[in-house]
Amino acid sequence: MAGALTRADLLGLEQYAEQRAQIRAEVMAHKKNRRVPVGPHATLYFEDRLTMRYQVQEVLRAERIFEAAGIQQELDAYNPLIPDGCNWKASFMLEFCDPDQGRDALARLAGIEDRVWVQISGQPRVLAIADEDIERTTDEKTSAVHFLRFELTTDMAAAVKAGTVVRLGIDHPAYRHQSELTTAACRSLARDLDCAG
């Protein structure tokens, strides 16, 4: 299941409508092990080819896009979120129930997307590379949604595949939390890593 998505990987609107319930159930079960909360308000959703295929199909369905140019535009938007080597890619969400609390928090958390890290079995922390498509933080506030890439070494990837402990954290002056990935999450994320060596 490696590589970028093409039009050949997608179902037509009618065919997708017929299979949508089953596809959705499969994707939701898959996503369960790829959602990693870090503290009370931050969550990383690790993306892969399956989650991005579902996302593209949902956009095409919602927008009733069936022309080749429109389909290609969505593929071009979502393909960069598919892991492509020795990396993990994730949607990073800052979530607050109260809109006023959220506005205040996003002002305090400017730059948080550059302070997200992973650490594999005592090796050095790897900081996320954030928002390679467009800048999502201003001097006044950060965005509630960011897109992150974690570039790992081949040794780190080998350790993940061998089942070592993986920690994920945020080291921002206004938000310091960390989590340990579950065994199921590590197994799922290990499949994203396609490194030589």
Domain identity same for 160 and 69: no
Kindly compute the dihedral angle of the four CA atoms of residues 157, 159, 160, 161, in this order, to the nearest 10 degrees. Answer: 90
Single-letter amino acid code for the residue at 55 = Q
Domain identity same for 21 and 103: no
Domain identity same for 76 and 62: yes
Domain identity same for 164 and 127: yes
C-alpha span between 126 and 107 (Å, rounded) = 25
Q: Which residues of the chain have pLDDT under 50?
A: 1
Domain identity same for 100 and 184: yes
Query: Residue 1: what pLDDT?
Result: 43
* Cα distance between the two ends of the chain: 20
Query: Residue 139: what pLDDT?
Result: 67
Domain identity same for 78 and 12: yes
Domain identity same for 164 and 178: yes
Query: Residue 100: what pLDDT?
Result: 86
Domain identity same for 39 and 8: no
Q: Residues 6 or more apart from 171 whose CB is under 8 A from it?
A: 115, 117
Kindly compute the dihedral angle of the four CA atoms of residues 78, 82, 85, 87, in this order, to the nearest 10 degrees. Answer: 110
Query: What tens digit of pLDDT does each residue of 63-103 get?
Result: 999 999 999 999 999 999 999 999 999 999 999 988 888 88
Q: Which domain holds residue 149?
A: 33-46+84-197
Query: Residue 2: what pLDDT?
Result: 59
Domain identity same for 56 and 4: yes
Domain identity same for 99 and 187: yes
Reported residue count of the chain is 197
Domain identity same for 90 and 120: yes
Query: Residue 20: what pLDDT?
Result: 96
CATH number at residue 114: 2.60.40
Number of domains making up the chain: 2
Domain identity same for 77 and 88: no
